[in-house]
Structure formats: C-alpha cells, structure tokens
Structure 1
C-alpha cells in the first residue's frame, strides 16, 4: 500500500467515545509484586516476571476503562482499572492512585502516527428503500354495499306484494329486480397504501484507508519506585469515503 500522507502526532490526546476501543498487544514486565484493587473489595496479585499481555482502552459516558489480560497463568489473569472520562491519555500521561483508586500511579508515554493510502475506487453492495403499492380487499365496505342491495331488493318485493296481493303468478321477468337496478353491483373495494421495502443494489465509491499506529509505554509507580511496566503496540484501519453515489 502506497502512503501519500504520513502524520506524526506528537501531542495527540487519546479520545474515546461511546463504545470505541483501542487494543494493544505487548509485554508486561513486573519487577515487584503488584496488587490491583478490583470491584466488590476483591484484589488481584501479580508476582514478578515478564509476561505477554493484552491491554484494551475503552470508555462510556462517565468513565474510561483499562482492561489487562496478563498471561502469567492459564487462563490469563484479568485486571480492570477505571478513572474519569475527563482524564486524557496523550503523548504523556500521569493518572494518580487516587484517580484510579489503586495504590500506585500509572505514568507513561504514547506515540501516535496516522498514515493514509492513495485514493481508491470500486463498486460495492448496498441496500435502498423502494416504494411499493400494496392493495387489500376491504371486506367491511364490500359487506355494507351487499347489505344495502339486499335491503333494496326486499323493499321492492314488499311493495309489489302490497300493490297486488291477489297476484298468484310471479312478478314478470321484465319487472323483477336485477343487478344494477338499485345501484351498482357491489364492487371490489380495495384499500391501498405505500409500503417501503429494502432492495439490494450497488453504488460507486471513492475512498482511502487511514491507518493509526500507537505505541504505549506505561509504568506502575509507587512512591517513586517502578513496580512494573507495560509496552505495547496497536494498529487500527479505517475506511474513509471521499465520494459515494446513490444506491440503485
């Protein structure tokens, strides 16, 4: 991938919003035993040694969180740290013991570099909304029209019976009620409405890939003494669109 732009971010603060996560893979080097305070008055103790580790930084509306998975055992030891969302992790940082409710400070550096690929183009799949007219029979309306017609036919028969009660022969065919004589034949009365349906389509796009590399070096410091440290690397790729045609 050819990079046309390389940005070295010297003072870029780590900004996490919503459910965003940044994941680091690296090494945990414990020089002296570290005791981590956890929720529900629990503690996690990590003995000296050098271990592979994964660290995830995340945030919600009120807190930032650090989740560590230290592979000093099977399964890995899990440690969680929390602090205010207003505390930034930038090029340099120092989160105090009081801010994390721990017995050590977390201090270190994080270097961030952003690179962008050349602009690319392609056709990609998409979905779009299409209006579709749907009609269904209105049974209630049809039934009402039929009932009105039956009532008119019955009324005609009653009038004929009153006017000529002595008639024995049936009403001549030319005088008998017929469909349409007292109004239109009950129609099919549909109810129609527009329903939006999803359809597959394609669209033309132009975009570039933005890659963010981060290197973090964080130390666990107690009364000026470093109990241990974590060094890790994170790479994130994001597709940034510069143009998107309509989906069709």
Structure 2
C-alpha cells in the first residue's frame, strides 16, 4: 500500500469561484450598471438570483429572469471574510450603490472510511514491425489503462450563508437584500493503493 500526502482540494472560499444561489428582495427600485455598461433599474419585487466571485476582486450578481442580466461589484483583493462582515462604498464597488454583507461558514468532517474507486494509470507498451532489409524495429509508448484502487478517506462538508445589502450611495437607506446558501462536499483521500 502506498501512503500519500492528503489530497486536499482547497475549500472554496466565498472569494473563490463558487456560486451562491438565493433570492434578491428589492424593497426600493434600485439603479445598477450591468456588465455591458448599460444602466438598468431593478423594480421592487423578489427575484431568484445568484452571486459569484469570478475573481478575488469582483462579485457578480445575476438575476435569473428573462434578461438574465449580470451586475458586477468591485471589491478589494481577497477582502471577503470566511466568517464575518464587510462594507464598501460606491466609489470602491463601481456602482451607484453602497454594498455591505456578511458570510457565515460552517465546516464539518465525517469519520474515516474506506472504499475502492475507479482510476487511470499509464502502462508502457512495445510495438514492433519488420524492416525492409530484414530484422525488426521496436518502440515503446505509454497507453492509458483503467483500473481500481483502494482509498482511505473522509468527507468535508462546507455550508455557507451569505447576505448582501445594497443601499443608496452614501446613505443607510437599504434598497435591496440578497440572501443565499451553498453547501459543498469534498472527499479528502488520506491513503491509497496503487491503481491496477
């Protein structure tokens, strides 16, 4: 059995690239600039929406309506906390609104388990062919083979609740609020046998 360093996929922070599904509740018509640079007014109402941090410096709010429009908010690099609050003025986010919010993250880990899983490995294969003047010529190339391996693992579950408040620029007058939730599960492999 071959012991491996834990194969841990970094838990996606909100400032990563995960999408948070939720709802946008607009209590006062709010004007935003969409990703194409056009000014749009979002009417009072409740919208299915999601937010995504495409980079560590930008949050994108997407309304799941007929227009499927996207609105981008600039943020300082890596400044969204895993747990905690944040607040940025209109001049920072590049929109005619102020943006604030909160993130609550909970991480749990399962007990250690074991199983077998499918895998791939490379195997050298020799090919030979006759030469015109007699004799043989051979070469070796690698081919992909499919197999199984035994693994020892645990599952890490990350649950995240995100709230955003959109306010009229330079006031405390909230115009809209986004509330969303996301849960991801990653398998962390602690030990594994050779793939065969």
The TM-score, its normalising length taken from structure 2, stands at 0.83
- Identify, as 1 or 2, the structure richer in helix: 1
Partner of 2:87: 94
1:205 aligns with 2:196: no
Structure 2 CA distance for aligned equivalents of residues 57 and 189 of structure 1: 63
1:138 aligns with 2:131: yes
CA contact (8 A) 1:36 1:79 kept: no
Q: Give the 5 Å matches for 1:1-248.
A: 14-16=14-16, 21-59=17-55, 63-71=57-65, 75=66, 77-84=68-75, 86-90=77-81, 91-139=84-132, 142=133, 188-222=134-168, 223-248=171-196
Structure 2 CA distance for aligned equivalents of residues 211 and 14 of structure 1: 15
The one-character-per-residue Cα deviations of 1:121-176 (angstroms, maximum 9, x if unpaired) are 1111111111111112233xx1xxxxxxxxxxxxxxxxxxxxxxxxxxxxxxxxxx
Cα deviation, residue 70, structure 1? 4.2
Question: Structure 1 215/39 Cα, relative in aligned 2: closer, same or farther at 3 Å?
Answer: closer
The TM-score, its normalising length taken from structure 1, stands at 0.66
Question: Structure 1 85/136 Cα, relative in aligned 2: closer, same or farther at 3 Å?
Answer: farther
Structure 2 CA distance for aligned equivalents of residues 40 and 83 of structure 1: 15
- Identify, as 1 or 2, the structure richer in strand: 2
What's the secondary structure of 1:123's corresponding residue? strand
Which structure has the greater CA radius of gyration? 1
What's the secondary structure of 2:18's corresponding residue? strand
Q: Runs in 1 of length 4+ with deviation above 4 angstroms?
A: none
What's the secondary structure of 1:88's corresponding residue? coil
Q: Please list every run of 5 or more consecutive structure 1 residues that lacks an aligned counterpart in the other structure.
A: 1-12, 143-187
Structure 2 CA distance for aligned equivalents of residues 25 and 113 of structure 1: 17
CA contact (8 A) 1:28 1:70 kept: no
Provide the alpha-carbon RMSD of the alignment.
2.0
